[in-house]
Structure 1
Amino acid sequence: MDRVKDLASKKAAVIFTKSSCCMCHSIKQLFYELGASPAVHELDNDSYGKEMEWALRGMGCNPSVPAVFIGGKFVGSSKDVISLHVDGSLKQLLMDAKAIWF
């Protein structure tokens, strides 16, 4: 859990993913299209990946990926991020965290 929190706080936008996950790819693409450059941690390519996946589940992220943090705070998984994007608040969250500038 500490490793996840530490990595999540190092950059304005952080996404925990798996390389084979299509929703992870979609969320990363959304962030890039909004102008953000998130830190991406692919759990299946990390030696601590399984432990971090369990920590994310413990934080309420189900499924465990993609798990999105903005400004060091857990935002949610793909469903949550898409909802924020649709209602217009994702962009503002990214701006407030200084992940994008407009």
Structure 2
Amino acid sequence: MEKVTRLASEKEVVIFSKSSCCLCHSVKVLFQQLLVKPKVYEIDLDPEGREMEKALVSLGCSTPVPAVFIGGIFVGSTNQVMSLHLSGTLTQLIQPYKLA
């Protein structure tokens, strides 16, 4: 749990992902299109990936990946991120972190 919370707050936008997950890919592409370069942690490639997955679920992730953190705060998984995007709220949340 400590590793996940530490990693989630090390950069403005953090995505915990799995390299073979198509929903994770979609979320990563969305942030790229919104001109944000998130820090991505592929938990399936991390030796502590199983523990990280359990920690993400205990933080409230309905599915372990993708798990998106903005400003160190858990925003949600695919459904929550897409809902925020459609409502325009995601753009407001990431505004300070957009690339120039």
| Structure 1 residue aligned with 2:42 | 42
- Give TM-score scaled by structure 2 length: 0.96
- Give TM-score scaled by structure 1 length: 0.95
Note the alpha carbon deviations across 1:37-88, whole angstroms, 9 max, x for none: 0000001000111100000000110111000000000000000000000000
Q: Give the aligned residue type for 2:98.
A: I
Q: Percent identity?
A: 54
Gaps in structure 1 of 5+ consecutive residues: none
Q: Give the aligned residue type for 1:24.
A: C
Cα deviation for residue 101 of structure 1 reads 5.6
Is contact 2:27-2:78 (8 Å) kept? yes
Q: Give the aligned residue type for 2:9.
A: S
Q: CA RMSD in A?
A: 1.1
Q: Give the aligned residue type for 1:3.
A: K
Is contact 2:37-2:99 (8 Å) kept? no
| Structure 2 residue aligned with 1:86 | 86
Gaps in structure 2 of 5+ consecutive residues: none
Q: Give the aligned residue type for 2:13.
A: A
Q: Give the aligned residue type for 1:33.
A: Q
| Structure 1 residue aligned with 2:97 | 99
Q: How many residues are treated as equivalent by the alignment?
A: 100
